[in-house]
Amino acid sequence: MIKIYPVIVLFLIASGFIFNDSIRQIDQDAITTGEVLKYKVHYGVINAAEAVIDVAPDIHRVNNRPCYKANVSGKTIGSFDFFLRIRDTWRSYIDTAAILPQVFYRNIEEGKYRKKENITFDHYRNTALVESKRTSTFKTPDNVQDIVSGVYYLRTLNLDKYKNGEQIRIKGFFDEEVFDFTVVFRGREQVETKAGKFRAFKLVPKMPDNKLFAGPDAISIYLSDDKNKIPVLVQAEMLVGSVKIDLYKASGLRYNLNKAP
């Protein structure tokens, strides 16, 4: 008979050899390969930048798991490009079954500032390996999201079941820190974008005190009130003015967009 000795068990736990044998499964049909969403970014009345959010047409295998390859890219245009040149790329390989990040990458070029970072998540051992100017491993909680995959996770929720004021809580990992991210459901509204009028779910992420946004409710995210639940509009009140991210083109979606009359 094999005996399990407490000291050995404790050693294995401390060494990381005992870990979760499974990760969550999410049944969803909102996200699909080949999606392309294009946005205009307005600073006040100025057309300041453009952004593209897309899911690659093919499934990628990362950490031996099938993944969506989701890209977010943004660049300044016009006079803004002259004063503050921005070329940012964010990428997340999102587990198709769990809607969790397997690998997160970002390449930031903002003026003279540069940053490249690669994060590999292990959801069995609850760790994140961060490779930038240095390489470090961090402990993470169950079902931790990066910035990009967190938005895709929100799209999988059945928002019809939420009441005005109800909170959605997400564990996130960003800038080598774990944080609690709370999003408040604020019902439905009709919004107007360059792509047309939409009935939309309104979500308000609670922002911590910072020197960028004007208060904890400074950002409003509007997801289309249909089976796609794509971001159609983002509005942000900043200490230096208002920013609006406005959908102007969408293609490759699984379902037709539910435009308002």
> Thinking of the domain 19-251, which architecture would CATH place it in?
Beta Barrel (2.40)
What Rg value do the Cα atoms of the chain yield, rounded?
20
pLDDT-above-90 percentage for the chain: 74
- 3-state SS, residue 87: strand
Side-chain-side CA neighbours of 38 within 13 Å: the count stands at: 7
User: Does residue 52 carry a pLDDT above 70?
Assistant: yes
State pLDDT tens for residues 103-146.
999 999 999 999 999 999 999 999 999 999 999 999 999 999 99
Whether the Cβ atoms of residue 224 and residue 198 lie closer than 8 Å to each other: yes
**pLDDT computed for residue 3 by the predictor:** 42
State pLDDT tens for residues 156-198.
999 999 999 999 999 999 989 998 989 999 999 999 999 999 9
Q: What ranges do the domains of the chain cover?
A: 19-251
